[in-house]
Amino acid sequence: MLDASRIRNIYVAEDQHLKGNLWVVKQLQPVGVELDRSALTTAFEKEARLIATLEHPNVPRLIDFFVQDSLLYIVREYVPGTDLHALQAQRGEPLPEKDVLKIGVQLTSLMNYLLRKKLSPVVFRELSLQNLVLTREGQVKLVDFGFSHLFSRETRLGPPDYSAPEQFSEEGTIDARTLVYNVGALAYHLLTGHNPGTSPFELPRPSDLNPALSGAACAVVEKATQNDRRKRHKDLNELCKGLENALLQKMAPKRQRLPRPSPPPEPATPTIPLPPTSGTGTQRVSLVPKKKSNDSAALTWLVGILLTILMGGGLIAIYHFLLRPESSG
């Protein structure tokens, strides 16, 4: 047996035909129902058929459902792993920030999906640490829908730790921003270790409870859990982006500042000692290359011109000598 209470028992069963296949069998004992037996059975079967159509990686498959001896039965896929409540209790401290952000991203996807499927609003009250199982692969599964709407408004399957203020109003209207609060409050609990149900709608700042949290994670959770729904993320997609950005910042490698290299020293100017003078100590003088004078450059040009003239004259003389007529004998 996995769990037992006044209104339900949950068992793990092995398939007699497919050996090795495990299923979870949930037995419900309606208490305080406002419907007669026939209406209750009809409502149960209708909800079970709807849940059986769910196809989402964070929802275990519903295999079968039936009514027997006034008891309601649900058979679903078995999910190996540890529920978040037990996991946090084992650690004795908040879960790592990266893990919580990953869980939050998965939950926003799941809640968005369930909202589009138009499930009963009361189904979303089943979002709790006990109903969320984390697998070895890091995938979170919502393993219990509870069928809470089949019971009276006074019958609650667990405390509303993550419920938004508007869920306690007479209208009880639920929209995407309500689910933003639900996911944000659950993430707050995992990040800080503080159960929002112990101080409803007066939540301390996350950084006050866990100074190790990043500013990005704190900002996302604080916005999601605003009492005024108009100040929250407008929908689950916006919340998901905020969680993803905080996760990317958390996982990004920290950039280390390297010391700036100092410029190379300038080459020293060679010096030679001078003979001692009447003063004390040794004088030093810098050896600075001496610039060539203009006179030397002009002389070089003049010599070049003269050599050119002499060579030209010699060539002309040789030419005339070779071309002169020979004298007759």
What was the pLDDT predicted at 294?
A: 56
What was the pLDDT predicted at 5?
A: 61
As to burial, measured by CB atoms within 10 angstroms (0-12 exposed, 13-18 middle, 19+ buried), residue 145 is buried
Answer for the pair 81, 132: CB distance below 8 angstroms, yes or no.
no
pLDDT band at 127 (very low <50, low <70, confident <90, very high): confident
Mean pLDDT over 184-204 rounds to 94
What was the pLDDT predicted at 250?
A: 93
**More confident: 117 or 185:** 185
Distance, in Å, from the CA atom of 114 to the CA atom of 215, rounded to the nearest integer, reads 30
Closest CA to 65 of 123, 31, 9, 26: 26
In a domain, 88, yes or no: yes
Mean pLDDT over 108-130 rounds to 81
**More confident: 182 or 120:** 182
- Judge whether residue 157 has pLDDT over 50: no
Question: Lowest-pLDDT range, 5-19, 56-70, 196-210?
Answer: 5-19
DSSP state, 81?
S
Residue appearing with tokens 């089943």: 126
Longest CA pairwise span in the chain (Å): 162
Mean pLDDT over 55-83 rounds to 92
**Selection from 18-22, 112-116, 146-150, 182-186 with the highest mean pLDDT:** 182-186
pTM, whole model, 2 decimals? Answer: 0.71
What was the pLDDT predicted at 203?
A: 95
DSSP state, 265?
P
Residue 146 CB coordination number (10 Å) = 21
In a domain, 278, yes or no: no
pLDDT band at 29 (very low <50, low <70, confident <90, very high): confident
Distance, in Å, from the CA atom of 82 to the CA atom of 263, rounded to the nearest integer, reads 59
pLDDT band at 85 (very low <50, low <70, confident <90, very high): very high
Q: Provide the Cα torsion 208, 210, 211, 214; round to 10°.
A: -110
pLDDT in tens, 308-327: 776 766 666 655 555 555 54
Which amino acid, residue 172?
Answer: G
Q: Can you give the residue range of the structural domain that contains 229?
A: 3-251
- Judge whether residue 241 has pLDDT over 90: yes
What was the pLDDT predicted at 258?
A: 62
- Judge whether residue 154 has pLDDT over 60: no
Q: In degrees, to the nearest 5, what angle opens at C-alpha 247 toward C-alphas 164 and 233?
A: 30
Distances (CA, A) of 29 to 37, 104, 187: 12, 32, 31
Distance, in Å, from the CA atom of 124 to the CA atom of 225, rounded to the nearest integer, reads 16
Residues written for the chain: 329
In a domain, 109, yes or no: yes
To the nearest whole number, what is the mean pLDDT of the chain?
A: 80
Mean pLDDT over 151-177 rounds to 69
Mean pLDDT over 48-57 rounds to 90
Rg of the chain (C-alpha set): 44
Q: Which bin fits 247, alpha (ψ -120 to 50), beta or left (φ > 0)?
A: alpha
What was the pLDDT predicted at 156?
A: 44
Residue 58 CB coordination number (10 Å) = 20
Residues paired with residue 76 on neighbouring β-strands, in sequence order: 24, 62
What was the pLDDT predicted at 44?
A: 84
Closest CA to 146 of 132, 134, 136: 132
What was the pLDDT predicted at 283?
A: 53
In a domain, 302, yes or no: no
Distance, in Å, from the CA atom of 50 to the CA atom of 37, rounded to the nearest integer, reads 20
Distances (CA, A) of 224 to 161, 176, 219: 15, 11, 9
In a domain, 141, yes or no: yes
In a domain, 310, yes or no: no
Question: What's the domain count of the chain?
Answer: 1
**More confident: 203 or 117:** 203
In a domain, 273, yes or no: no
CB neighbours of 245 closer than 8 A, spacing ≥ 6?
216
- Judge whether residue 296 has pLDDT over 50: yes
**More confident: 275 or 42:** 42
- Judge whether residue 52 has pLDDT over 80: yes
In a domain, 260, yes or no: no
**Parallel, antiparallel or unpaired: strands 3-4 and 8-14:** antiparallel
Distance, in Å, from the CA atom of 281 to the CA atom of 284, rounded to the nearest integer, reads 10
First to last CA, the chain: 149
Answer for the pair 83, 103: CB distance below 8 angstroms, yes or no.
no
What's the CATH code of the domain at 233? 1.10.510.10
